[in-house]
Amino acid sequence: EVQLVESGGGLVQPGRSLRLSCVASGFTFDDYAMHWVRQAPGKGLEWVSGISWNSGSIDYADSVKGRFTISRDNAKNSLYLQMNSLRAEDTALYYCGRDNHGMDVWGQGTTVTVSS
Amino acid sequence: QPELTQPPSASASLGASVTLTCTLSSGYSNYKVDWYQQRPGKGPRFVMRVGTGGIVGSKGDGIPDRFSVLGSGLNRYLTIKNIQEEDESDYYCGADHGSGSNFVWVFGGGTKLTVL
């Protein structure tokens, strides 16, 4: 079964850091670019960051540029999002998604809450 | 980068048809758009990609034949025929603005479809 499972979310104070993980199974992970997409409570989808299959191309939304770092470990079938200097507005459900001419596989999401 | 505009809400009676619209900002009439379904409390689900020539590639896993797409000018349409209760969802359109070595994705604000 093709599957993505996110983890690492939680409650964190403003200014602190958190690292999200996404483990892939059921497909050849290094055949695909991957993305992080978030959804604030009651709001729509917001693309956060994307990474090519070999980490050669990486991009970020302006809202997180300079604070978040995306990475992947193809040997571990894993995608990561290092989030530093967290703000209240980063509070959201964070999804990882597989890029296959559209994000055709999504995880169930992991919740990040930034609050003092 | 393009902006994607969606009406915030739509409704249709059980068994009827509905067409959802995603409008690209000026200058992006050649862009393909992806449609995603998000049922209450669930993660997004890829429906299909659409360009001006219609569907691009394949539908997402388990998407019934009742779902179809069209593209014209700046508009990308998702039509659902014989609406079922299970179709009540938020529907988002998204577009890959990246080229070659970079990633930039954008999403519309979403349309909440209510089945009457």
A80-90 pLDDT tens trace: 999 999 999 99
Q: Tell me which DSSP letter residue B60 carries.
A: P
Q: What parts of chain A have a pLDDT lower than 50?
A: none
Residues paired with residue A68 on neighbouring β-strands, in sequence order: A83
Cβ neighbours for B29, distance < 8 A, ≥ 6 positions apart: B52, B73, B74
How many angstroms separate the CA atoms of B109 and B101, rounded? 26
Confidence of residue B19 (pLDDT cuts 50, 70, 90): very high
How many angstroms separate the CA atoms of B42 and B108, rounded? 18
**pLDDT score of B64:** 97
Mean pLDDT to the nearest integer, B39-68: 95
How many angstroms separate the CA atoms of A109 and B48, rounded? 21
Q: Is residue B18 within 8 Å of B80, Cβ to Cβ?
A: yes
CA-based angle A73:A75:A79, to the nearest 5? 30
Whether A107 sits inside 8 A of B43 (CB atoms) is yes
pLDDT 10s digits, B63-109: 999 999 999 999 999 999 999 999 999 999 999 887 766 778 999 99
What percent of chain B clears pLDDT 70, i.e. is strictly above it?
97
**pLDDT score of A76:** 98
Q: Which 11-40 residues of chain B touch chain A by CB within 8 A?
A: 34, 36, 38
Confidence of residue B1 (pLDDT cuts 50, 70, 90): confident
Number of CB atoms found within 10 A of residue B27's CB: 9
Output the DSSP codes for A33-98: EEEEEEE-TT--EEEEEEE-TTS--EEE-TTTTTTEEEEEEGGGTEEEEEE-S--GGG-EEEEEEE
**pLDDT score of B98:** 73
Whether B36 sits inside 8 A of A45 (CB atoms) is yes
Residues paired with residue A67 on neighbouring β-strands, in sequence order: none
**pLDDT score of B100:** 62
Q: pLDDT at residue B45 above 90?
A: yes
Q: pLDDT at residue B113 above 80?
A: yes
Of B65, B90, B75, which Cα lies nearest the Cα of B33? B75
Does the CA dihedral B55-B58-B62-B65 come out positive or negative? positive
How does the average pLDDT of chain B come out, rounded?
94
Q: Which residues of A touch B107 (CB under 8 A)?
A: 37, 44-47
**pLDDT score of A49:** 96
Q: Which residues of A touch B105 (CB under 8 A)?
A: 35, 37, 47, 50
Whether A102 sits inside 8 A of B48 (CB atoms) is yes
**pLDDT score of A82:** 98
